[in-house]
Amino acid sequence: MIEILNPVKVARARETGALVGRILATLRERSTVGTNLLDLDRWTAQMIREAGAESCYVDYAPSFGRGPFGHHVCTAVNDAVLHGRPHDLALADGDLLTLDLAVLLDGVAADAAISFVVGTSRPAESLAMIETTERALAAGIAAARPGARIGDLSHAIGTVLTEAGYPVNTEFGGHGIGSTMHQDPHVSNTGRPGRGYKLRPGLLLALEPWVMADTDELVVDADGWTLRSATGCRTAHTEHTIAITDEGAEILTLPPGFDASA
């Protein structure tokens, strides 16, 4: 299903996106050396509840997972990149942490992810991967406008990733979003321009470039959810939900105080 939102629902999506941005910003501040992943999940649940919203993850049970996800935020550490299931793990200095959050508020969902290094260590490889996914996301957003094709976005994202030397996995990518978290169209992280669905005002997309340092192959943890790099290399993942408008693309999941025009 491809859902086109009317102006009232787009306004609701702005509120949901702002909530996602606020929660992720708070979790980033609280992700210090010694923080337990289960505490991050608990804090997320509390913030969602206090906002009168719902988690998109607790009951999430797609065909590729093992039963309901059962938690409120994805926490992927180092070689984990997608669907990281929170567990009893304390963060260490230099860990690369990805937080992925999707929330439903007033009937509209928003989805975003951030990657960052915990503590004072600054591994150059980790910082380079994070910066590349952020640039790729910016390129995909810049290509998003009415009349553009999904392939234009995929090509823009993939060009940044491949030029930086990273292999690109096409099993998981961006997606439509609206009254539910995952909808058509699929937005691959590489592709050919001029192909695919034509973007229209009112369409919401979650764009999410992600890379692994030296492989495009994933392996699944025993928890049936957490996806890791097959080689044990580090990974990074960045995501925003955007709304297609008459003028272009509006980022809905920015953290508080962030100026998208700066």
Residue labelled with tokens 């491809």: 2
- How is the chain split among helix, strand and coil, in percent rounded to 5? 25, 25, 45
209 residue type, one letter? P
DSSP 59: T
The CATH number of 7-251 is which of 3.90.230.10, 3.40.1710.10, 3.20.20.70, 3.20.19.10?
3.90.230.10
Tens digit of pLDDT for each residue in 118-171? Answer: 999 999 999 999 999 999 999 999 999 999 999 999 999 999 999 999 999 999
- Residue in 128, 122, 118 with CA at minimum distance from that of residue 97: 118
How much of the chain, in percent, has pLDDT values that exceed 90?
A: 94
- Residue in 155, 127, 150, 160 with CA at minimum distance from that of residue 200: 150
Tens digit of pLDDT for each residue in 21-37? Answer: 999 999 999 999 999 99
Tens digit of pLDDT for each residue in 179-216? Answer: 999 999 999 999 999 999 999 999 999 999 999 999 99
| pLDDT of residue 258 exceeding 70 | no
Q: What is the pTM for the complete model shown?
A: 0.95
49 residue type, one letter? R
Question: 43-47 contacts: CB < 8 A, separation 24 or more?
Answer: 44/72, 44/73, 44/101, 45/72, 47/22, 47/23
Q: What is the pLDDT, as a whole number, of residue 262?
A: 44
Q: What is the pLDDT, as a whole number, of residue 64?
A: 84
**Domain definitions of the chain by residue range:** 7-251
Residue 32 Cα distances to 11, 86, 137, 200, 237, angstroms: 34, 16, 26, 41, 19
Q: What average pLDDT does range 102-120 have in this prediction?
A: 98
Question: HSE (CB half, 13 Å, CA atoms) of 38?
Answer: 4
Distance, in Å, from the CA atom of 51 to the CA atom of 204, rounded to the nearest integer, reads 22
17 residue type, one letter? G
3-state secondary structure of 153: helix
Residue 226 Cα distances to 83, 87, 105, 125, angstroms: 5, 11, 26, 22
Residue labelled with tokens 């070689």: 79
